Amino acid sequence: MTRPPGADRPLYTRIAASLKGRVLSGALAPGDRLPGEEHLSRSMGVSRSTIRQAIAGLRDAGYVTSRQGSGTFVAAELPIEPLVPRSGPVYTGFLDDLDDEATHVEELHRSQETYPADDAIAAGLRIPSGSPVTRYRAVRVRDGVIYGVASDVVPGAIANGITPDILAASPTIPDAMAAAGHPVTESLQRAEPVLIDGADADDCGVAPGSPGLVLTGVAYDGQHTPLDAYTLTIVAGYGIGLLLTRANRAG
């Protein structure tokens, strides 16, 4: 597994992530022309060859197309659907990478329920409304310290493959999905401040109304098929939350 692009990542990877974030946040819409290599090189303080590497990666992934003599444009159909509504900062990365940033992560007090998908969940997972989905909810712990609450909603067809044995052996639901043959490759999530209240506050051991960070998004497999509509609420002061906040500001 790979971490979100940070200071130890190749420069072109970080540039590609920044441009991809603009696309998936709606700042660059399908059909829009990307700024030219010279402009991007000057504004980002990198060489044109680095910009070319970043754009090549986005082109290979299906986010942009290039036209000889015309420039590079946002693809008409994106591999991953932008989050809607398009408000608040958007972070692009790998769902499991959140756990890579925090080793020794596990889920406690895990619960699950199966119910018909409403219109919003059905749209996010690209399944018919009313289809069965399973919601897993658990307290996230790192090195024995609670840092938040995770909620994962997965299609019934995937949940059916997550047997009790797999679930018991998996530190997180993404791990369980991978063990069941549905590894998460990429995810798109919005990061927004939140006041933690209700059951989340109780489970995290913080006072109701305490500040936190909530990540809401969809995780995809290698074929860009949605696997998981998730929410991760993180208590204030946790390193991952601070990293993501910085990444959003930089994007």
The CATH number assigned to the domain holding 46 equals 1.10.10.10
Asked if pLDDT for residue 138 goes beyond 60, the answer is yes
pLDDT score of 239: 54
The reported pLDDT for the residue numbered 11 is: 83
pLDDT of residue 5: 44
State phi, psi for 78 to the nearest 5 degrees.
-85, 145
Do 115 and 21 reside in the same domain of the chain? no
Instruction: State whether 103 and 47 are in the same domain.
Output: no
Residue 1: pLDDT over 50: no
The answer to whether position 6 is within a domain reads: no
> Residue range 161-176: average pLDDT?
94
Same domain, 62 and 104: no
Task: With cut-offs at 50, 70 and 90, classify the pLDDT of residue 131.
Answer: very high
Give tens-digit pLDDT for 189-246: 777 888 999 999 999 999 999 888 888 888 888 888 999 999 999 887 665 444 443 3
- Indicate if the pLDDT at residue 247 is higher than 50: no
From 12-21, 92-101, 127-136, 210-219, the region with the lowest mean pLDDT: 92-101
Q: Does the residue 2 lie in any domain?
A: no
Domain span including residue 41: 11-79
Amino acid at 208: P
Q: For residue 125, tell me if it sits in a domain.
A: yes
Instruction: Indicate if 178 and 246 belong to the same structural domain.
Output: yes
pTM of the model: 0.68
The sign of the torsion formed by the CA atoms of 197, 122, 131, 137 equals negative
Q: What is the 3-state secondary structure (H, E, C) of 5-38?
A: CCCCCCHHHHHHHHHHHHHHHCCCCCCCECCCHH
Residue 19: its pLDDT value, please? 85
How many independent structural domains does the chain possess? Answer: 2
pLDDT at 133: 97
- Range with lowest mean pLDDT among 4-18, 177-191, 222-236: 4-18
More confident residue, 38 or 191: 38
- Across 68-78, average pLDDT: 88
pLDDT score, position 2 = 30
> Is 191 among the domain residues?
yes
Q: What percent of the chain has pLDDT over 90?
A: 43
Q: Are residues 67 and 132 in the same domain?
A: no
Residue 84 forms part of a structural domain:
no
- Given 79, 107, 129, the domain boundary residue is 79
pLDDT digit string, tens, across residues 114-130 = 999 999 999 989 999 99
- Residue 105 confidence class, pLDDT cut points 50, 70, 90: confident
Query: Which is more confidently placed, 37 or 132?
Result: 132
Residue 89 belongs to some domain of the structure: no
More confident residue, 130 or 68: 130
Higher pLDDT, 104 or 43: 43
